[in-house]
Amino acid sequence: MTDEIKRNLPRDVFMHLLAIVTLYWSAISFVTLLWQFINYYFPDALNRYYSQLAFSGLMRFAVASLIIVFPVFILVSRYLNKIYARESAVRESKIRKWLIYFTLFVASLVIIGDLITVINFFLGGEITVRFVLKALSVLLVAGLVFGYYLDDVRREKPAKTGKYFVWATSALVLIAVVSAFFVVGSPQTARLMQFDQQKISDLQNIQYQVVNYWQKKETLPNSLSDLNDPISSFMVPNDPQTNQPYEYNIKDKNNLSFELCANFNKEGNDQYGQYGEARPLAVPAKGQQDNWQHSAGRVCFERTIDKQLYPPFSKTK
């Protein structure tokens, strides 16, 4: 038996390390996913510029990790249990116990740090629903990991209830992953949202160029092609989805009013302020918000340049 264990030592090290790494990765991904649910349903009013694109990106990465990494963890754990049944000495190996006790150590630090943070925020009067839910999610995951491995390391054989624990955690992960698709949408929806984000970015850039054109020449451009400048290497972008030019209309040349139009796939509710500007380059038309909020379909953003904020360059010298 000794020779067999020595011969299989590289296998045992590899499998135990793989199990622990995939456990950590799955736990972090699950907590990340829970936090994004909390961010979505309980947005922070103080974090106005938390990007919807960044939010959905974190959620998609967490989902992708759970879809790949968590099943690997389950399969590796099952394979190790089969090895334990054949070679009981492997279950008592030092590499396994070192990794389990290290996991218990990390889980303990997470739980202690989580409780300290909760008390600290409570004493500071900053307890909010979103904070409490995030703290509970960390405590839940760390507590489950700690409790399971503390019980497992004390046993000579795997507990018979272990399979029920696996089924329960698998069900939780599955529910979280499926729910995420209702929040971030399908891959096709994500692609359409990226098109809309790029269109807004293009319109913001074009608006800046229109204001810059007025400051240089004291008039609005007659068309978007007037903004093309080979010296500065600026070329007016087209709609990335259709490759057609964006719509530009002069509403009142004397009052420096114009509008920029584009066709959008989805409603941009600006929930996290991703379209806002710290200082607008042009004043929105009456009744419009000072951002790039839009509905689905053709939307026009009417702007009026403020001559006092953006006087011609000839008058600033």
> Is 115's pLDDT higher than 90?
no
Residue 179 has which token pair? 């729910």
DSSP annotation string for 223-292: SGGGG-BTTTTB-PPBPTTT-PBPEEEEEETTTTEEEEEEEESS-B--TT-TT--SS-SSEEPTT--SS-
Among candidate residues 149, 137, 159, 77, the one with its CA nearest the CA of residue 108 = 149
Query: What pLDDT is recorded for position 28?
Result: 93
**Distance from the Cα of residue 151 to its chain's centroid:** 35
Burial 93-112 (b: 16+ CB within 10 A, else e): bebbeebbeebbebbeebbe
Q: What mean pLDDT comes out for the span 80-106?
A: 87
Residue 145 has which token pair? 């990991």
Query: What pLDDT is recorded for position 274?
Result: 45
Q: What mean pLDDT comes out for the span 121-148?
A: 85
pLDDT band at 81 (very low <50, low <70, confident <90, very high): confident
Q: What is the pLDDT of residues 137-171, one digit of tens each?
A: 999 999 999 988 888 888 777 777 778 888 999 99
> Is 288's pLDDT higher than 60?
no
Domains of the chain, residue spans: 2-185, 189-315
More confident position, 3 or 213? 213
Edge to edge, what strands does the sheet with 257-264 contain?
247-252, 257-264, 297-304, 283-284
Query: What pLDDT is recorded for position 142?
Result: 92
Q: What is the pLDDT of residues 210-257, one digit of tens each?
A: 999 999 998 999 999 999 988 888 899 999 999 999 999 999 988 999
